[in-house]
Amino acid sequence: VTAVAAARPPAGPTEPVAVAQRDLASGQVLTADDVTAVEMDPELIPAGAYSPADAPLGRVVAGPVRRGEPITDVTVVGPGLAAGLPASHVLTTVSVRTAADTLVRSGDVVRVVATDPREATSEVVSHAATVVVVPETDPSMRAEVGVTTVVLGVPEDEALVLTAASTAQVLDLLVPAPGSD
């Protein structure tokens, strides 16, 4: 009975909401083909949801979105990826071991560790990098290459350290427990 009730259109007033037409990947640019309109009970519409007329086309999907999920202000980033970063921060891309990208999502604050495989030593090269985008990659490509790219927001001086470290060292991400410093 519950499934039947959920499948029925709402009996009361409804409002149109922009929802994902299909599963959307992190880092994907939102197009008209990715969005459809659905009538929803106003009490069930999440805060920050876009109407179909105001769908944020051309903006970047912040994290994975399932088909049918309302598009909200936190679903997308932009107009530029760096728009939400402090003025002293820049975006940088780093290649990390493939497994590291499965631990993080957009918005996570991580530590970046550089390991020198010749010396078997590691050091933290960024203490509070913000994950901006974890682009979706083909699983076969990830397995073959063994690394994946992550877009991080960091202070500009840390971006230079990350770039230098990535040329001769292997980078990993550490996800600290909530409340740890």
Q: What is the reported pLDDT for 107?
A: 84
Residue 134's nearest CA partner among 101, 167, 93 is: 101
2-77 topology per CATH: Type Iii Antifreeze Protein Isoform Hplc 12 (3.90.1210)
Report domain extents, the chain: 2-77, 81-174
At residue 17, the pLDDT reads 97
For the chain of 181 residues, list the mean pLDDT of each consecutive stretch of 10.
Answer: 51 92 83 94 93 90 87 79 78 77 82 91 92 71 67 89 87 85 65
Three-state DSSP class for 44? helix
Q: Environment class of residue 69 by beta-carbon count within 10 Å: exposed (0-12), middle (13-18) or buried (19+)?
A: middle
The pLDDT score that the predictor gives to residue 140 is 61
